[in-house]
Structure 1
């Protein structure tokens, strides 16, 4: 089955299966993003929340909880918590990256200003903590608060690592585990915890989310050099222009000769970019098979995600989550 060309993609099938729960999540999100005293908060939040994102992370929480037999009300709270944390980090990211576009639309910092984006992001983090307390489960609180700290840590690590040619694949993985995979793994893990699943199942859900998040980010980094800007909502080469040392470049730098290293030093470390540099970067990436090798890494992590599902109950959702791992990497075929 070609997942990329299938009439219904795994995340769409997941959305259909979880439709009633996701409506409850969306209602809760809109309820909790309200502010009596600061109308700018729901304005800025709604711009991002209603931008047509896939809502993948909250769906992972709901799916994990149902897969493990949960029938209570608090999976909705946890799914909304996960989406609030994600939205808060996006608001902050766009300020840090000085981004002008997200999901094909102008960013909040462009439409309003940086101060509004940062402060509304802070408000959403606070709302997330209020929500995560409500199920009254200390372990859930531990997982989600740790994930929030890990995400912030990953972002700060990226600040120093992203323009330093000494950054290797181990540091890149550490950044990705922080800024992307931490929320995926927390989203799946808390679904198992709230359902009081067996420890082996909770551990498998964590492994699935971790591997899926890593595959997801590697694919994003790869698509920046070979994607369709209409499909991704980003311009090809944005990471290069923003001097981000992502996995394809790390692989090319590792094989670079003296002249090539000087090119990467000038364009990434020093930020002195000229016309034609992106095209030359693509030549070097192809010369050293960096894009192909990055694709193999993404497939490796997607396989790892799929393997972890073998620990979980036989359920239609289990197959959907396996298909989702395939779909994440199908974007690069």
Structure 2
């Protein structure tokens, strides 16, 4: 079932439930992305922030805070912080990946230049730390600062691991936990911390965000090899063309015979790609069941996310978070 087939998408239901808080977050984002001296900053930021992203990460922070009974106001600051960190990483990622499209639109580095994308990303990171400090919580600052460092670490690890056929599923998971899941888990964890929730509940929220983030990235990697470009906003095979060893490819390489391994060495390690290679790569993924195995792993991480928050008190938001986990993997069912 695709997202478009769902009568009311869980993400939309959560957005409607949190609409007042999200309005406050959006207002704060617009205020803080302004710059008196450098008008290019709001131009570049607005291009990405206003591009119609789902704002899933800031909503997770708001949802976690509400689930734990928080009345405000700093959940709004933290949600904006999470969105700023996410936007900064996207700006940097598009430069690193030399991407030309994001959310179905030209990337900022394509419309402006790499320098603008990097420097505006740096500006947003700085703004995010200003917002964190305003909460007055050293623990919140610690969680989000650690997440920011972990994200960067995961991206650097990916630089070396993604083109090395010796990369294992364990290394892949380490990369994913860094570059993607770290911000999901921080988003949910700080919602519980700012609400003063007990440690068991904070831990459950962290584990939910971690598992959800892993599922989210695995789905993204799977859709890269078999998704609909109109739905994903990306071309099929972008990761292959960028020589990224994602989970489906790692599984296929692990089962490759000598001839197949030579193909992966040429296309991934050496980057010598030619017409027809993408189709052959996809055929090898099907041959070894790599796409189905990857789908099952995404579903397992989604179930793990749901199980993590079953220990939390019954609450409509808890049910919505469970449905969000199903929603993330619904694109591959």
Give the TM-score normalised by structure 2: 0.99
Distance in 2, Cα, partners of 1:2 & 1:311: 29
Structure 1 segments, 4+ long, off by >3 Å, are 1-4
Aligned to 2:23: 23
Q: Which residue of 2 aligns with 1:157?
A: 157
* Partner residue in 1 for 2:66: 66
Q: Measure how far apart 1:72 and its partner are.
A: 1.6
Partner SS state of residue 331, structure 1: helix
Question: What residue number does 1:47 align with?
Answer: 47
CA contact (8 A) 2:219 2:332 kept: yes
Give the Cα separation in 2 of the matches to 1:77 and 1:38: 23
Normalized against structure 1, the TM-score is what?
0.99
Separation (CA, whole Å) in 1 of partners of 2:122 and 2:35: 13
Match of 1:110 in 2: 110
Q: Is the Cα–Cα contact under 8 Å of residues 4 and 331 in structure 1 kept in the other structure? A: no
1:191 partnered with 2:191: yes
Q: CA offsets per residue over residues 240-275 of structure 1, 9 Å max, x none?
A: 111110000000000000000000000011110011
How many Å separate the matches in 1 of 2:285 and 2:271? 18
Q: How far is 1:7 from its partner?
A: 1.6
The aligned counterpart of 2:242 is 242
For residues 4 and 165 of structure 1, the distance between their equivalents in structure 2, rounded to whole angstroms, comes to 37
Residue equivalent to 1:270: 270
Aligned position for 1:34:
34
Question: Gaps spanning 5+ residues in structure 1: where?
Answer: none
Hey, what's the Cα distance between the residues in 1 that align with 2:224 and 2:156? 21
1:145 corresponding residue in structure 2: 145
Query: Equivalents in 2 of 1:195, 1:263: separation in Å?
Result: 53
For the pair 1:93 / 2:93, whether they are aligned, the reply is: yes
Q: How big is the shift at 1:3? A: 6.5
Shift of 1:313: 1.3
Q: Residue 332 of structure 1 aligns with which residue?
A: 332
User: Shift of the alpha carbon at 1:2?
Assistant: 8.2
Change (3 A) 1:239 1:3: closer
Q: Does 2:211 align with 1:211?
A: yes
CA displacement at 1:8 relative to structure 2: 1.2
Secondary structure of 2:5's aligned partner: coil
- Structure 2 equivalent of residue 309 of structure 1: 309
State the alpha-carbon separation in 2 of the partners of residues 98 and 185 from structure 1. Answer: 27
Q: Counterparts of 2:3 and 2:161 in 1: how far apart (Å)?
A: 34
For residue 287 of structure 1, what is the aligned residue in structure 2? 287
> What is the 5 A alignment of 1:110-129?
110-129=110-129
The offset of 1:4, in angstroms, is 5.8
What is the aligned partner in structure 2 of residue 170 from structure 1?
Answer: 170
Q: Distance in 1 between matches of 2:117 and 2:290?
A: 35
TM superposition shift of 1:239: 0.6
Count of aligned residue pairs for this structure pair:
333
**1:198: how far off?**
0.9
CA contact (8 A) 2:244 2:268 kept: yes
Provide the rounded CA distance (Å) in 2 between the counterparts of 1:37 and 1:6: 45
Post-superposition offset of 1:211 = 0.1
What does residue 14 of structure 2 align with?
A: 14
Contiguous gaps of at least 5 residues in structure 2: none
Aligned to 1:299: 299
CA distance in 2, matches of 1:288, 1:317: 40
Cα distance, 1:6 vs structure 2: 1.7
